[in-house]
A and B are shown apart, each in its own frame.
Chain A
Amino acid sequence: QVQLQESGPGLVKPSQTLSLTCTVSGGSISSGGYYWTWIRQHPGKGLEWIGYIFYSGTTYYNPSLRSRVIISVDTSKNHFSLKLSSVTVADTAVYYCARAVRGVHLWFDPWGQGTLVTVSS
């Protein structure tokens, strides 16, 4: 079955750019019918949807983060990536990648295990 795995630095300095990659295994990222998404969870808090990318490159970002976020896809490597610029301590969170199954309805499944990114000098 399809599995997702996040990778990237666990520590980023303030004002720098957070970069994460989500590698998809067990299926092709080019399969239609899915949005490839990033979601984060601040420590001990709820979930915040960051944005999605379709395999064609179409993106949508949460307006709250739009000015700082870029999500890209590399179909040849079967992975998609997140870049969040000008980070502050408020960006410290567990970052999840997830596949959004789209049809009449939509749900996130599967999810990666999540990776904690700490913003600190």
Chain B
Amino acid sequence: EIVLSQSPGTLSLSPGERATLSCRASQSVSSSYLAWYQQKPGQAPRILIFGASSRATGIPDRFSGSGSGTDFTLTISRLEPEDFAVYYCQQYGNLPWTFGQGTKVEIK
């Protein structure tokens, strides 16, 4: 199975700052079949990005995804108070589908 490693584990930033989250795969993710999810405490995850760079419906354009092969990035251009959460990458190019362990974006 493809193992996804996310870094850093925790990112401490202030509102208005830029957040850069990394997701590295143990083998190439075919056709950039990679998604990003946001999860807030007590809630189910929410889809942000699919296909490595396509924003899901209703997702603000401050969220952007990039990358291919084994290295992917989620960028939040200017953090809003509601963006402090845990973010997971997930690959769907190979079964079993797998998730990264998550990056927590916390208020500094």
Contact = CB atoms under 8 A, between A and B. Distances in A.
Interface string A49-75: 100000000001011100000000000
Contact of B99 (A47, A60, A109, A114): A47
A45 B43 CA distance: 14
Nearest to A61: B96
Contacts of A98: 44
Given A63-B1, A113-B44, A114-B44, A105 B54 contact: yes
B35 A107 contact: yes
B81 interface: no
Contact of B88 (A46, A111, A114): A46
Interface string B95-108: 11111111000000
Interface in B23-38: 33, 35, 37
B63 interface: no
A64 B43 CA distance: 25
Query: How many interface residues does chain B have, given as a range?
Result: 20 to 34
Contacts of B43: 113
Top 10 A-B pairs, shortest CB-CB distance: A111-B44, A47-B99, A106-B92, A62-B96, A46-B101, A107-B50, A105-B51, A107-B47, A105-B50, A49-B97
B102 A46 contact: yes
A112 B45 CA distance: 10
Interface of B: 1, 33, 35, 37, 43-47, 50-51, 54, 56, 88, 90, 92, 95-102
Interface of A: 45-49, 60, 62-64, 96, 98, 104-109, 111-114
Contacts of B46: 109, 111
A60 B44 CA distance: 22
Which of B43, B46, B96 has the most chain A CB atoms closer than 10 A to its own CB?
A: B96
